[in-house]
């Protein structure tokens, strides 16, 4: 009797193990990105964008044949963009130790470059479809996808001033450490082997938390007032991945 129970228990564990392997996939991505920075203040205008890169590991748990929960761990490099000051004067990075005092207060039309790196944890829902169940090519959509980001690096540059420009300033103290964003994506999968699938697609991601810490001031109507605009990064990525 004990042998029969042991055999049944072993068979159940083996069955659950096979089912788990069939319902779970993991993979890697290397995705070029194109990001831009915008604010809620019309006088602080986003004027140019950054090329960057996302690297990461992804997991998919299929709770139905073509529906999965997705998550992973990723790294976003060089996210951000450029803002141009439209006020007569502005202090935008008061918490950062800039290389020279003259960069603390910036004149009108000064340009501020943001380059921010994040560690990211995405989670969301994926749906797949194809012309038939035996096809090597499938289409997918990921919606919605929410991403928690933790700032690891913040670098700034200043141009357009009457004095010498500056690059590679450490501005982490003026960039919020936590980022929350939403997104969506879609593309195609091509099965190159029974346990390997290539993925290519496009994804859009938009912050809904403020990038900046709002500790700065601007000269408005002859007096310095708090600069409390909301700055957010939006990006498009070309997703390239391999799943197993």
pLDDT in tens, 110-136: 999 999 999 999 999 999 998 676 789
Residue 14 lies in a domain: no
Residue 4 lies in a domain: no
Residue 178 lies in a domain: yes
Does the pLDDT at position 145 exceed 50? yes
What is the pTM assigned to this prediction?
Answer: 0.87
In this structure, what are the phi and psi dihedrals at residue 10, rounded to the nearest 5 degrees?
Answer: -65, -40
Per-residue confidence band for 163, with pLDDT thresholds at 50, 70 and 90: low
> pLDDT tens across 170-199, in order?
999 999 999 999 999 999 999 999 889 999
Domain span at 41: 25-243
Across the chain, mean pLDDT equals 90
By the 8 A CB rule, do 231 and 37 touch? yes
Residues 94-114 have a mean pLDDT of 95
Per-position DSSP letters for 180-194, written without gaps between them: EEEEEEEEEEEEEET
CATH number at residue 129: 2.40.160.20
* Element at 243 (helix H, strand E): strand 231-243
Per-residue confidence band for 22, with pLDDT thresholds at 50, 70 and 90: low
By the 8 A CB rule, do 65 and 91 touch? no
Residue 19 lies in a domain: no
Residue 138 lies in a domain: yes
First to last CA, the chain: 40
Total structural domains in the chain? 1
């Amino acid at each position: 009797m004990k042998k029969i129970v042991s055999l049944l228990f072993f068979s159940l564990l083996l069955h659950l193990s096979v089912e788990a392997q069939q319902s779970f996939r993991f993979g890697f991505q290397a995705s070029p990105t194109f990001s831009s920075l915008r604010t809620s203040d019309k006088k602080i205008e986003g004027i140019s964008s950054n090329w960057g890169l996302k690297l990461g590991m992804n997991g998919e748990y299929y709770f139905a044949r073509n529906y999965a929960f997705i998550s992973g761990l990723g790294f976003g490099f060089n996210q951000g963009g450029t803002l141009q000051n439209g006020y007569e004067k502005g202090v935008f990075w008061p918490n950062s130790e800039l290389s020279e005092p003259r960069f603390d207060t910036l004149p009108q039309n000064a340009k501020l470059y943001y380059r921010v790196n994040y560690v990211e944890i995405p989670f969301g829902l994926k749906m797949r479809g194809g012309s038939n169940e035996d096809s090597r090519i499938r289409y997918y959509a990921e919606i919605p996808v929410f991403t928690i980001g933790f700032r690891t690096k913040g670098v700034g540059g200043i141009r357009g001033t009457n004095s010498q420009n500056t690059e590679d300033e450490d501005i982490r103290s003026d960039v919020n450490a936590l980022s929350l964003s939403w997104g969506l994506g879609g593309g195609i999968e091509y099965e190159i082997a029974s346990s390997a699938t290539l993925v290519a697609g496009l994804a859009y991601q938009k912050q809904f938390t403020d990038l900046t810490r709002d500790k700065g001031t601007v000269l408005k109507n002859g007096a310095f007032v708090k600069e409390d605009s909301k700055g957010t990064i939006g990006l498009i990525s070309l997703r390239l991945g391999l799943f197993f």
